[in-house]
Amino acid sequence: MSKYYITTPIYYPSGRLHIGNAYTTVAADAVARFRRIMGDEVFFLTGTDEHAQKIQRKAAEAGKSPKQYVDEIVDGIVELWRVLNISYDKFIRTTDDYHVDAVQKIFTRLHEQGDIYKSEYEGWYCTPCEAFWTETQLDGGKVCPDCGRPVEQAAEESYFFRMSRYQERLIAHIESHPEFIQPASRRNEMLSFIKSGLEDLCVSRTTFDWGIQVPFDEKHVVYVWLDALTNYINALGYPENTAVYQKFWPADVHLVGKDIVRFHTVIWPTILMALDAPLPKQVFAHGWLLLDGGKMSKSRGNVVDPVILAEKYGVDAVRYYVLREVAFGADGNFSNELMIQRINSDLANDLGNLVSRTVAMAEKYFGGTVAASGAAAAPDDDLKALAMETDGSSSDAINKLLLSNALADIWRFISRTNKYIDETTPWILAGDDSQRPRLAQVIYNLCESIRLIAAMIQPFMPDTADKIHARTGTDDIGRTWNDGGEFTVSKGPALFPRIDLEKEIAELERLTV
Ligand code: MSP
């Protein structure tokens, strides 16, 4: 049995999360579930990143203390993950005592060994991103390279992490570990960024106090990334050499959005080098879910709140949609209309109809129980072959975190199974008594295909997989085709009721004015 440690970024509790935010965590959940099914010992970590300066500002605006403010929002995030069926093993809050304690110990250690020193910071500062930028990074402009908003000159006494010291080691590591940054396009981007020269990193601030105190210099609080990134080891008990830390570190994959790759592939590995700890095996950057080609925000006609979407269309429809729509490395497009179209075509038509037609035929022709008869014919081998090929290709795709590809593969098999019904024409076989054994074999093959489809979609759509298993009277999640046996089916409501697109769009317009 091997171990598998997967993390999501820890989220800023600065407002309600939207469907784009949910993408990272749903993706990590699908991978974690798949690995568990495959027999790995999985540790799946998520949490919240609570010491951002903008949180202090928002709390003040809301007339609350920062802790009061984040507590309420974190409750909402935990609830969102419950609704979306997120099977995390641990939820870390950067305000948790053990994390605060660990960050202080790490800061002190790095200071004592000369990796953190006190100096004065002068530079261009982007307040919303909480990032200092160098002249070169601004490239002549006076706007933040990340968000495009104006930057301002700022100077203050700060502690610095000697990141520059690790530049060559980091380059060597990235060059000798092609799998470290994925996809490869991000890797090239990061390599040229690092080669342009790493500066030391500001790791403390004195102008606000919502943060972890520097233990030996009380007017300083630890400044974001040293606090945020170390969550990945602190959650395992670091700096104590706990059994959990020993077992799970280094992480197998940090799953992150493309906007935070730089922090995870430059700052994080250099901190770990300074701590003499192993580097994560992989940082995987996924694309974004965009709304009308831009960032998610409130928009007329589009509901982006995942809780409302899950209530309206079901959790699994939401999970399916985001995972299918964001392809490897690229951005995906979100709109309620696209989502409804996918629900109608992929879920209601392709998958839902396959299950309901098969169950209905098994009931009509065999009173609900159908056994393999051995009466084979030409299309059977093709169906079986594609079933096994799909298990292999979709598993490979998940192992490479190509979740959209995995779903596309599974849906190709679903279409193939639907086509099998048209090829074998069970309703014609049913009119001829001598064809009874063949009819039984056809319906058996359909049930067996559906059983395998349920097994393959389980990591992505766990509730739907359970429902399908109940309809086909089996809980067998084995992924190899069984030639013998029987199924006892039972009817149920449509897995994914068809949505009237026009009516629904009108309703969404009303909801979002
Ligand atoms: N707190 C930092 C991460 C620290 S990790 C040590 C942060 N938080 S965040 O709340 O702003 O973002 C959390 C995740 O959501 C990031 O991976 C980010 O890329 C992702 N997304 C935010 N908007 C998104 C979309 N529209 N689409 C897909 N992912 C998006 O960054």
DSSP characters over 484-504: S-EEE----S-SS----HHHH
Number of the ligand 1 atom closest to the C-alpha atom of 228:
6
Q: What angle do CA 369, 370, 373 make, to 5 degrees?
A: 155
DSSP characters over 198-241: PPPEE-EESS--SSPBPTT-TT-EE-THHHHHTHHHHTTTTTS-
What is the distance between the alpha carbons of residues 348 and 418, in angstroms, rounded to a whole number?
Answer: 13
What is the distance between the alpha carbons of residues 99 and 94, in angstroms, rounded to a whole number?
Answer: 6
CA of 458 to the centre of ligand 1 (A): 25
Number of the ligand 1 atom closest to the C-alpha atom of 11:
10
The top-level CATH class assigned to 335-488 is: mainly alpha
pLDDT at position 459 is 98
What is the distance between the alpha carbons of residues 107 and 121, in angstroms, rounded to a whole number?
Answer: 18
Supply φ then ψ for residue 118, to 5 degrees.
-95, 140
pLDDT at position 297 is 75
**Residue with structure tokens 């170390």?**
230
293, pLDDT greater than 90: no
Supply φ then ψ for residue 303, to 5 degrees.
-90, 120
Q: What percent of the chain has pLDDT over 70?
A: 100
Of the candidates 84, 505, 21, 24, the one whose C-alpha atom is nearest the C-alpha of residue 302 is 505
351 neighbors 467 (Cβ within 8 angstroms): no
pLDDT at position 54 is 84
Domain ranges of the chain: 335-488
452 versus 147: which is more confidently predicted?
Answer: 452
Q: What percent of the chain has pLDDT over 90?
A: 83
**Which residue's CA is the closest to the ligand 1 atom numbered 12?**
11
**Which residue's CA is the closest to the ligand 1 atom numbered 16?**
257
Number of the ligand 1 atom closest to the C-alpha atom of 256:
17
Per residue in 154-206, pLDDT (tens digit) is 888 999 999 999 999 999 999 999 999 999 999 999 999 999 999 999 999 99
Residues lining ligand 1, CB < 6 A? 9-12, 20-21, 23-24, 49, 228-229, 231, 256-257, 259-260, 288-289, 296
The whole-chain average pLDDT of the chain stands at 94
